[in-house]
Amino acid sequence: MEVAQDDHRFRVVCAGRRWGKSVLARMVVLKWATEKPGLYWIVSPTYKQSKMIHWRDFAKEIPPEWIKKKNEVELSLSLKNGSVIELKGAENPDALRGVKLRGLVIDEIASIRNWSWLWTEVLRPTLTDYEAPALFISTPKGFDHFHKLYLTGQKKDGPYRSWRFTSYENPHIPKGEIDQAKKELTEDAFAQEYLADFRKHTGLIYKNFERSLYVIDPFDIPADWSLYRGIDFGSTNPTACLWVAVDKDNNFYIVDEHYETGQTIDYHAGRINANAFSARVTATYGDPSGAQWINEFAQRGIYITPANKETGTSKKNWVTYGIEKVAEKLKAQVGHSVPIVKNQLDDDKNKVSWRHGMPQLYVFSHCQHTIEEFEKYRWMEKAVSQAPDQNNPEVPEKANDHAMDALRYVVCSYQAQNLNPEEQEFPEQNLFDEDGFY
Ligand SMILES: Nc1ncnc2c1ncn2[C@@H]1O[C@H](COP(=O)(O)OP(=O)(O)OP(=O)(O)O)[C@@H](O)[C@H]1O
Ligand SMILES: [Mg+2]
């Protein structure tokens, strides 16, 4: 009632499993449809889900004397007052264009991929004609687009308002049943699924990625470091190019990114060539299956080496292998030191600070898409019966993987320069304060 009667145009409900999210979705749409004749949608992640979750129940919940017509293929319900309620799946964006809606509900929005694109390009314009309201509902799935919406709704002013409810609040679900789930699940999974808590999602690939550790302020790249590019090609997906600087100790720094969707190859090549780091690049690595792209880029002065797919063993899948190599670089390494290179490095070459027990991979803070992908890139969900093993390796989801792929190409292909160990500088041990600086 609290959500249904609130008058914010954009409402966000973050609630636990079995809380009543889908019932709320239908009740709100029905309330709108009876108040104002027009077209209304409930969008679920897929058409199949829309049908499974909503179709049968809806037909039972709406008084039969209100219904004029039902179409089970279109998942459309026409009411006698002239309103039409349709159930949609987000996996087919072409079926979501070209209409004007009086109201929109998104159920399980956290499971919708490419949300920000779907919203700005496809769904948001359907609400413009009537300044129509929208309700966004989900159980949380980590720090993603739904989390952002939730935070927007927590601000005091503006058209958004958000709520959070736990599964315990549904009086129709026995409390003991939820307590039982608490015993069976990990603390994180229970907090996410039943307490509707935003936790790091359990299926994350780079679980340890923390902004506080891996994201650093940009600094000038010393002239004797090498620079590489990794490119992942895409037209409906983003084309992602990363510039990766490598220091004398093989630490990787993602120093810049180009990340854009739906542009021409001329445009991408123009942007990549115009980047100041490009002049210093030693090699560029790209998707080995993208021969046509490699060709097209070459015609525009960007010469791409297909990424090295060797894994050292025939058993390993090269994607998983590359992910492992990136994960290794992210791991804090005992005895590994990195220079704290601030911008003063060039002015004051003699005073470099070092930090110990550090990872070998960093991202400059303006590379926002790369940072977000690190935080979202996840394994495909699998049934418990299909536990990963050598014949059935884990597979990443085909989403939030563009900068991640570009990085993988560099990490798999880059040959460490043969450093003479005597040339590597290590600071003397007794000069550090407790934070590892001197
Ligand atoms: N307002 C309500 N009145 C009566 N029963 C309700 C109400 N809201 C939810 N329920 C009941 O609670 C149960 C869960 O509802 P619903 O399927 O909407 O939850 P959900 O949060 O969408 O669950 P899931 O996390 O599985 O998607 C159902 O049995 C539903 O009938
Ligand atoms: Mg539901």
Reported as a single tens digit per residue, the pLDDT across 246-260 is: 998 889 999 999 999
Residue 19 CB–ligand 1 contact under 6 Å: yes
CATH domain 211-431 topology = Nucleotidyltransferase; domain 5 (3.30.420)
- Buried/exposed 91-109: b ≥16 CB within 10 Å, e otherwise: eebeebeeeebbbbbbbbb
For the entire predicted model, the pTM comes to: 0.59
| Side-chain half-sphere CA neighbours of 219 within 13 A | 20
pLDDT at 384: 44
Distance (angstroms) between ligand 2 centre and the Cα of 53 equals: 7
What is the position in ligand 1's atom list of the atom closest to the CA of 108?
27
pLDDT at 405: 98
H/E stretch holding 160 reads strand 160-165
Q: Tell me which DSSP letter residue 432 carries.
A: -
Residue 406 scores a pLDDT above 90: yes
Task: List for the chain the helix, strand, coil content (%; round to 5).
Answer: 35, 20, 40
What is the position in ligand 1's atom list of the atom closest to the CA of 57?
31
One DSSP character per residue, 216-253 reads E---PPPTTSEEEEEEE--SSSEEEEEEEEE-TT--EE
CB distance 257 to 241 below 8 Å? yes
For ligand 1, pick from 42, 57, 139, 170 the residue to mutate: most ligand atoms within 8 Å of CB. 170
Residue 192 CB–ligand 1 contact under 6 Å: no
Q: What is the pLDDT of residues 124-157, one digit of tens each?
A: 999 999 999 999 999 998 888 999 999 999 998 9
Average pLDDT in the 292-317 region? 89
pLDDT at 359: 86
Average pLDDT in the 378-387 region? 63
Q: Residue 105 pairs with which residues in a beta bridge?
A: 42, 135
Average pLDDT in the 290-311 region? 94
Q: What is the pLDDT of residues 259-297, one digit of tens each?
A: 999 899 999 999 999 999 999 999 999 999 999 999 999
Reported confidence tier of residue 229, pLDDT bands at 50, 70, 90:
very high
CB distance 277 to 256 below 8 Å? yes
Tokens found for residue 277? 């780091």
Average pLDDT in the 29-47 region? 96
Average pLDDT in the 2-10 region? 97
Q: In the chain, where are the structural domains located?
A: 2-193, 211-431
Residue 415 scores a pLDDT above 80: no
Q: Tell me which DSSP letter residue 53 carries.
A: I
Residue 438 scores a pLDDT above 90: no
One DSSP character per residue, 327-377 reads HHHHS--TT-EEEE--GGGTT-TT--EEEES--SEEEETT-HHHHHHHHH-
Q: Tell me which DSSP letter residue 379 carries.
A: B
CB distance 103 to 31 below 8 Å? no
What does the mean pLDDT of the chain come to? 87
Residue 60 CB–ligand 1 contact under 6 Å: no
Segment among 73-82, 104-113, 184-193, 307-316 with least mean pLDDT? 307-316
CATH domain 2-193 topology = Rossmann fold (3.40.50)
Q: In sequence order, what E strands does 233-309 have?
A: 238-246, 252-261, 281-286, 305-306
Residue 389 scores a pLDDT above 90: no
